[in-house]
Structure 1
Amino acid sequence: MDVRNRRRIGIAGAVAGVGAAGIGAAVGLRRLAVGRVRLRPDPDADEPFGELRGKELTVRASDGLELHVEVDGPDDADLTVVFCHGYCLNRDSWHYQRRDLRGRLRMVFWDQRSHGRSGRSDPANATIEQTGEDLHAVLEAAAPTGPVILAGHSMGGMSIMALADARPELFGPRVVGVALVNTSCGDLAEMTLGLPLVLAKVVRPLAPRTLRGLGRRADLVDRARGLGADLAFVVTRKMAFADKHVSPTVVDFLEQMIRATPIDVIAEFYPALIVHDKVGSLEALGRVPALVLVGGQDRLTPPAHGRRVAGALPDAELVEVDEAGHVLPLEYPGVVTGGLRRLIDRVRPGCLEPGRVEDEEERTA
């Protein structure tokens, strides 16, 4: 295969990894000066992304798959927050929250099946229902007692909904709060990825077939993805972020997580996301205080989806950041961390370390 064809496959893989259905979103983006963006002053250039670590734990899922879990904080803490990451990402996507909430709080981070350091799933089990069961296994192993807050970004929020749908009895007695970030309870087949509606209607039906085709050539695609590195950077920045001043280091970090997710894993999970429907879980979620965070420019889970979730929960705080995209934990980390602090105070006032009450929401990236 010649270099041109390998590059074409690499670009296709990069685009698929960013938005799954966002094939074609890179049209016209080459005019952006990637090099100039990367050379801007970057306050996050020395941030130790991917280096924060805790006590490692291997949890066996209901189908026997090994899930990678890390526990950060004292075992005798009287509150645990379990963080569930999004599609194509891993536990390190919660970097800023992990850094800034360290203290008396106990935190659990885990890699969803087939992501990060967790085992590779049977494709038949690449479903949101199974990730909900995985979350239950993580809870049983890493936080077997005491009150728990569940925090989920994107697919991680869907995993929380799947748990609530399958095991509603946990919400109230064990799960005392939920934080749902850039997520949806259903109707994702309607998303436009920022494309004009007419074009989106053409692209959507092609995406599953395109991803399945890429998945069948996984080894070739994954080898070639690196050839489109600059374009992958631009597409990631365009599709995932809305803040034009977002740190280039943060964009690179996100793109590396996406690129580390094999293309066949992306293909396996995509159909589950599109048919996701957990409206029925909102009754159980509504039993506990909730935080719902929405990006006003989110192309993957549009803001209307978050508003719908918040509107169905009687004790929900809705935070919408107009100039934000799909990765609020990295794009506006202070907003997410500040919201989590407020949720923690709502379910257990005074649980944070003395002196850690400053408003972090002025930090934007």
Structure 2
Amino acid sequence: MSRRRRVGIAGAIVGAASAGVATAALAKRYAVGRIRLRPDPAANEPFGELRGREVAVTTSDGVRLHVELDGPEDAPLTVVFCHGYTLNLDSWHYQRRDLRETHRLLLFDQRCHGRSQREGVADRTIERLGEDLYDVLNAQVPGPCVLVGHSMGGMTIMALAERHPELFGDRIQGVALIATSAGKLAEITLGLPALVAKAVHFVAPQAVAVLGRRAALVDRGRQFGSDVSFLAMRLLGFGDSRNVSPTLVDFVDTMIRSTPTDVIADFYPALMSHDALGALDVLDKVPTSIIVGEKDWITPPDHSRAIAEVVPSARLEVVPNTSHLVQLERPEVVNEELRDLIKRAQGEKR
């Protein structure tokens, strides 16, 4: 074959590949464009703009946590919100919006997330998050409280229960665990066939570690939003992806992209090794609500059911056609359950 012909064939292959990539990009952009043109009931929702009285809490190991207090200061009970992995306190937008007029709320950014300290933070474990919550309660919650945790925030509450069980039934009078797990996250299938899921779990720790070592480079690329991240968040974060608000999807995507890659990498092993099922019987001392989306592939409903078996007095709510971000996707369901939990906490002295 002549050199000219080989070059011609190579050029044709490259041209075809480039055309394919370009076509895919145009199709993707067209799909996102069509989604954004649909009616968006949350288009004017002030995501990330709700603010309260800002204070700083320094933990027992010297880390500064960003804390916000909202609602009436003289309320008899404080509702404390613990957010999830890669998120921040703004992920409780709808709960804050609907409860702030009638309840004293405390929201905080977990260490290395949001506006809390990142630099020089060595301890990035679930056990340490439990101690952080203990420090926050001692600093800013003078009376009884209800704890609400989503995903990693639920694990934070479990770590507190393991280390400070004496608080439950005394200062802590109610608990809500939302889309969380007491352990064995490394065994979930992610909706994949068993062999594929096993391979993913085998490769993921090494892949995450590599990303962590190249965090600065990765973060530079993550700062720019993309159609790919929008579509992925829409599909994976929400159960009813066809009808979810594009504004809400952008809001969550921005939160996640603002969490540095090294933070994501450092907390990942702690999440995978988390095992607190044996410590949860203490939650039977207080009214407990367990809420999970029916289509949650990150912390599947079976993980919530496992918690409910250990805490037989707990109320389990599986929300239909909803995924991991249930507090944002179906806030009316979550808020109704929280209001009921608060009433039970104030009315039941065990």
Residue 65 of structure 1 contacts residue 121 of structure 1 at CA under 8 Å; is this kept in 2? no
Counterpart of 1:159 (choices 152, 156, 172) is 156
The 5-angstrom pairing of residues 334-345 of structure 1 reads: 334-345=332-343
Q: TM-score, normalised by structure 2?
A: 0.89
Deviation at 1:287, TM superposition (A): 1.0
Amino acid at match of 1:111: D
Corresponding position of 1:134: 132
Q: Which structure carries more helix by proportion?
A: 2
State the distance in 2 between where 1:30 and 1:303 align. Answer: 32
Given that 2:169 and 2:285 are in contact with CA atoms closer than 8 Å, whether structure 1 keeps it comes out as yes
Of 304, 307, 311 in structure 2, the residue corresponding to residue 313 of structure 1 is: 311
- Equivalents in 2 of 1:274, 1:339: separation in Å? 28
Give the TM-score normalised by the residue count of structure 1.
0.85
Q: 2:243 aligns with which of 213, 220, 245?
A: 245
C-alpha displacement of 1:336: 0.7
Structure-to-structure mapping, 1:295-306, within 5 angstroms: 295-306=293-304
- Comparing 304-313 and 119-128, the one that deviates more: 119-128
Deviation at 1:121, TM superposition (A): 5.8
Q: Name the SS of the counterpart of 2:344 in structure 1.
A: helix
Q: CA deviation at 1:274?
A: 0.1
Aligned residue identity for 2:136:
V
Contact 2:168 2:285 in 1 (8 A): yes
- Kept after mapping to 2: 8 A contact 1:298/1:326: yes
Give the % identical residues. Answer: 58
Q: How far, CA to CA, are the matches of 1:95 and 1:228 in structure 2?
A: 21
Moved more, 205-214 or 106-115: 205-214
Q: How many residues align?
A: 321
The answer on whether the counterparts of 2:78 and 2:146 sit within 8 Å (CA) in structure 1 is: yes
Secondary structure, aligned partner of 1:294: strand
SS of match in other structure, 1:286 = helix
1:307 counterpart letter in structure 2: R
Residue number in structure 1 paired with 2:143: 146
Q: In structure 1, what is the Cα distance between the partners aligned to 2:55 and 2:109?
A: 11
TM-aligned CA deviation for residue 311 of structure 1: 2.1
SS of residue matched to 1:94:
helix
AA in 2 matched with 1:166: R
Pair 33,106 (structure 1): closer, same or farther in 2 beyond 3 Å = same
1:340-364 Cα distance to aligned partner (Å, 9 max, x none): 01101111259xxxxxxxxxxxxxx
Q: 1:179 offset after TM fit, Å?
A: 0.3
Q: Report the Cα offset of residue 123 of structure 1.
A: 5.9
- Counterpart CA distance in 1 for 2:119 and 2:289 is 31
Greater Rg over alpha carbons, structure: 2
Q: Is 1:284 aligned with 2:287?
A: no
Instruction: Please name the residue that 1:347 is paired with.
Output: 345
The change in CA–CA distance for 1:121 and 1:326 in structure 2 (over 3 A counts) is farther
Check the 8 A contact 2:75/2:104 in 1, yes or no.
Answer: yes
Deviation digits for residues 58-88 of structure 1 (CA, Å, limit 9, x no counterpart)? 0001110000000001221101000000000
- SS of 1:71's equivalent in the other structure is strand
For structure 2, which runs of at least 5 residues remain unmatched after alignment? 1-26
Q: Which runs of 5+ in 1 are unaligned?
A: 1-28, 351-365
- Segment drifting more, 114-123 vs 211-220: 114-123
C-alpha distance in 1 between matches for 2:29 and 2:293: 26
Kindly indicate whether the alpha-carbon contact (under 8 Å) linking 2:277 and 2:310 is maintained by their aligned counterparts in 1.
Answer: no
- 1:194 aligned to 2:195? no
Q: Secondary structure at the match of 2:190?
A: coil
Contact kept, 8 Å, 2:211 with 2:262, in 1: the verdict is: yes
Q: Which amino acid aligns with 1:189?
A: A
